[in-house]
Amino acid sequence: MYGIKNFSAIINPPQACILAVGGSENRLVPSENEKGFEVANMMSVTLSCDHRVVDGAVGAQWLAEFKKFLEKPTTMLL
C-alpha cells in the first residue's frame, strides 16, 4: 500500500463514518515459545465517526467484530 502503515480518514458530508485501512507489516510480538517472541503480520485500521450519527461505543463494538472477522475469515460464512 505505497508504504503507508496507518492514517486517519476525514469524514465528508453526508458520510456518517469512514474506515482507514493501513498496509500490513511484520512485527515482533511476545510469545510463549522458547525464543519468547514470534513474528506476526499486523495492520492498522482506524474508524472515524460523526458522533452526531454514530455513538463511539457502537463504533468500538463494530471494530471489535471487524477484528474478529479479519482474524478468522471463515466465521463470515456462518
Per run of 10 residues, the mean pLDDT along the chain (length 78 residues) is 83 94 91 89 93 94 95 90
pLDDT at position 5 is 85
Query: Which 8-state DSSP code applies to residue 9?
Result: P
**Helix residue spans in the chain (DSSP H):** 56-71
Of 5, 27, 51, 67, the catalytic one is: 51
pLDDT at position 4 is 83
Please confirm, yes or no, whether 50 is among the known catalytic residues: no
- The span from the CA of 1 to the CA of 7, in Å, is 12
Of 38, 50, 55, 65, the catalytic one is: 55
Please confirm, yes or no, whether 55 is among the known catalytic residues: yes
pTM metric for this prediction: 0.77
